[in-house]
Amino acid sequence: MPPVFPGTVFTPSVDDGFIEDGVQVSLWDDDLPAISRLNPELLAAMRAAEARAADDGIRLGVTSGWRSAAYQQWLLDDRIASVGEETARAYVATPEQSRHVSGDAIDIGPVDAQYWLISYGSEFGICQTYGNEPWHFELATTPGSECPPMRTDANG
Ligand SMILES: [Zn+2]
């Protein structure tokens, strides 16, 4: 990560894992750090789930994957500026806490893909982990076992 100097305006780039709002990329877009820097076990599980989802006519699109710490901080600062600290922290973790920064979380769309993963993801060890984020998934159980209880939000 390049040094961020005081007064420098940070703008997230593809190298930070940035994916534009409204864009969904493929689990096979290995040239994107958002995909290639994910935990390999999570990526393999997601690709296996995608193959099964395709049998049901569902496409799993990636709206966010790995993020640099600077990008995560930028997301948090941006959200605090628009909705205030309390609401922002319910949805955006700090860089130290974020499972996206460690490569252990992935955000999926569209809605039918989210429903599919919530229903069948546990067969691959994939679980929704925050009650208020139906798009956010992590490896959280042994494949074929139940998912653990969800945390209320990114702050809990
Ligand atoms: Zn997420």
Residue 154 falls within a domain, yes or no? no
pLDDT one-digit tens code per residue, 32-58: 999 999 999 999 999 999 999 999 999
- State how many domains the chain has: 1
Residue 7 falls within a domain, yes or no? no
Sign for the pseudo-dihedral over CA of 54, 58, 63, 68 = negative
Residue 63 falls within a domain, yes or no? yes
Q: pTM, whole model, 2 decimals?
A: 0.92
Residue 1 has pLDDT above 60, yes or no: no
CA 67 to ligand 1 center in whole angstroms? 10
CA 19 to ligand 1 center in whole angstroms? 13
CA 154 to ligand 1 center in whole angstroms? 9
Q: What is the CATH number of the domain that holds 68?
A: 3.30.1380.10
**Cα 64 from chain centre:** 5
Residue 153 falls within a domain, yes or no? no
Residue 4 falls within a domain, yes or no? no
pLDDT one-digit tens code per residue, 101-150: 999 999 999 999 999 999 999 999 999 999 999 999 999 999 999 999 99
Listed in order, strand segments (DSSP E) in 72-153 are 106-109, 126-128, 136-139
Q: Residue 3: is it exposed, middle or buried by C-beta count within 10 angstroms (0-12/13-18/19+)?
A: exposed
- Give pLDDT, residue 155: 77
Domain ranges, residue 124: 27-139
Crossing angle of helices 40-55/111-120, nearest 10°? 100
